[in-house]
Amino acid sequence: MERKPARLILENGEVLHGISFGADKDSFGEVVFNTGMTGYQEVLTDPSYCGQIVTMTYPLIGNYGINRDDFESIRPYVHGFVVREFADYPSNWRNSSDLEDFLKKYDIPGIAGVDTRKLTRMIRMHGTLKGIITTSQEADEVLIEKVRQSELMHDQVARVSTMRSYRCPADGPNIVLIDYGSKQGILRELLQRKCDVTVVPYNVTAEEIRRINPDGIMLSNGPGDPKDVPEAVETIRELMGEIPLFGICLGHQLFALASGADTEKMKFGHRGSNHPVKDLADGRVYITSQNHGYSVSEASLAGTELELTHVALNDGTVEGLKHSKYPAFSVQYHPEASPGPEDSGYLFDRFVEMMVKNKGVKQHA
């Protein structure tokens, strides 16, 4: 089958040529790269990528197809997918459909045949870039200009968070999971630990949560700039100290803001399954799965009640925090893995222990 030519046009004026696959439509977004060699299905369905055009640095994508189990949310939120080569003949016992059908089904455009390493190097040097995937005939200049004019979205969390609360009953600790764009993985890990989880929308109020009277609050991952969701920060600030907290990724950043620290945009962020993080308590290094474009600025911790617990081994950025008074901690990376190393799952156990202990304390009081 003859495929349409497609272009990826970037704000820095670069134009990358390739062929169109998946949905045939133009799509705008922030272009980022992920260095994971496996896990494209999880990446595509991780709500944290909402509004972004993702390129995988590994050149062969789609090898093992798409299966029913490895979704991190009910649908993909990426705005586009850029690969060197996609597999039109995937092979894996769980495979039920292929990458292209999947993208078509969810109306997501892809571009293949691109020198993704060139693109990655560009992003490394310039930082993340606004870009558009197009199959149109429009002149490069016109589109470059269009890309430069267009604004990145700020309402991703609202788009990906659940509309209504829902509950997954179990006989363990009662947890409220605030969904800023939560990956299934977080829920999975909590349920595995017998937690009784109530998933609530990002804009839930402190009052609503108090009514549920949970043993702990899980702040999920999510897309974009934490400063785009001040209401979430507000809720957390109110409940801190009152109910044990565990924040992941965006949840970690919101927790930091709520505690008076500040966040900043990174040049091109951390996205992949091979990021070493040092636990300052015991000096151990964990290989972690990461996906974030913003980070908590270490300098801003001064004067807050936050303690730095984890740092990125390579660039020293903040990867973990805990509150010096309250039962509350957070990590920038993804202990729920999927995709990525399972080394940090123990953090969920820590969370559960924290809640149990806290309960004990309460009862004695």
Residue numbers at the binding site for other proteins (CB under 8 A): 16, 33, 35-39, 41-42, 57-60, 63-64, 67, 69-70, 84-85, 87, 89-94, 115-118, 120-121, 124, 272-276, 278, 283-285, 287, 313-314, 337-343
- Contact indicator for 33, 8 with CB cutoff of 8 Å: no
> Alpha-carbon torsion 179, 181, 184, 185, what sign?
negative
Indicate which residues carry an active-site annotation. Answer: 249, 334, 336
Element (H, E) at 245: strand 245-248
Residue 339: asked if its preceding bond is cis (omega within 30°), the reply is yes
Which residues lie closer than 8 Å to 242 by C-beta, 6 or more apart? 210
- Report in angstroms how near the CB of residue 100 gets to other proteins at its nearest: 15
Q: How far is the CB of 135 from other proteins (least distance, A)?
A: 17
Closer by beta carbon to other proteins, 35 or else 297 = 35
* Complex with other proteins: residue 61 or 209, whichever CB lies closer: 61
**Minimum gap (Å) between residue 293 Cβ and other proteins:** 14
Minimum distance, C-beta of residue 353 to other proteins, in the bound complex (Å): 21
* Dist. CA 211–CA 53, nearest whole Å: 39
DSSP 158-185: HHHS-SS-EEE--SS-EEEEEESS--HH
Place of tokens 């509950």: 167
Pick 158 or 287: Cβ nearer other proteins = 287
Query: Which residue, 49 or 202, has its beta carbon nearer to other proteins?
Result: 49
CA dihedral 360, 351, 189, 90 (to 10 degrees): 180
